[in-house]
Amino acid sequence: MWNSRWTTTGLSTAWTGYRHAVRILHPSDGPEVDPVEAYLDDDRPAPPGRPWVVVNMVASMDGATTVAGRSGGLGGTGDRHVFQALRGLSDMVLVGARTVRAEGYRPPQDPAGPVASRRAAEGRAPRPRLVVVSGSLDLDPTLPLFAENDPGDPAPLVATVSSSPADRRAALEPLAELVVCGETLVDLTGLLATLNDIGARTVLCEGGPHLNHQLFAAGLVDELCLSISPMLVGGVGLGGRGLLDGPSLAVPIRLGLHRVLSEDGFLFCRYLVS
């Protein structure tokens, strides 16, 4: 039986559905835009009791978020500009301990150009503060994020649990501000409430996929910025890591597409959580 959305005339078959809802996004003769300005100008109203939460990730065409364990192999010039813009508009950068170790995280650096000017005009700190989620506190005290932190900046904030090892807590206390949120699993709702209380209005989560999953599952994400790299990596589903790492969500989350930018084969998609 023919689907009602198909019509047949002689030997030809034509699709009649959805034609008014489909648009060509690329190639396009639309105006060039500055991606930094585009992301800085977006409205991000903080929800009651917590900051606005942005998840920013880069992924290959087949869904991989790393190449040889790191995300840098997927990026390009445009992706770096988006990354810098999102960091520049954020008060806090939230990241999981596994990603800190894999990516060799360092303290956020001074933003450049219009990002720095915007922060100064709004009376904000020159740089966002780093917040690391680690229930086990498996963080080497000699990591660059501790050793290279500017003495004039607040120490990195490490969110952990009351059951974390006492010796690891003692080793990190001189280098970081430890915040206990939960007994055996970091309570992200409580953590965001704490960040809200100390003045954060926008929090940028840079992963990894396990932390992304926890935030989405708890209904704590307002915006997903996804850079789609024109690469195929393979291995996703065979030990590779996608955007979310965890069990199926209780209810699929609907995202609304706000904007798509394109440069050198990359797509930069901004989604809002419906």
pTM (predicted TM-score): 0.88
Closest-CA residue to 93 (of 189, 157, 40, 138): 157
Measure the CA–CA gap between 106 and 241, rounded to whole angstroms: 23
Q: Report percent pLDDT > 90 for the chain.
A: 64
Measure the CA–CA gap between 159 and 133, rounded to whole angstroms: 5
Measure the CA–CA gap between 187 and 50, rounded to whole angstroms: 13
How far are the Cα atoms of 97, 148, 176 from residue 139, in angstroms, in the given order?
7, 15, 11
Measure the CA–CA gap between 101 and 104, rounded to whole angstroms: 5
Residue ranges of domains in the chain: 34-273
For residues 208 and 98, the answer to whether their CB atoms sit within 8 Å is yes
The structural architecture, per CATH, of the domain 34-273 is 3-Layer(aba) Sandwich (3.40)
What is the tens place of the pLDDT at every residue in 217-254? 999 999 999 999 999 988 765 555 789 999 999 999 99
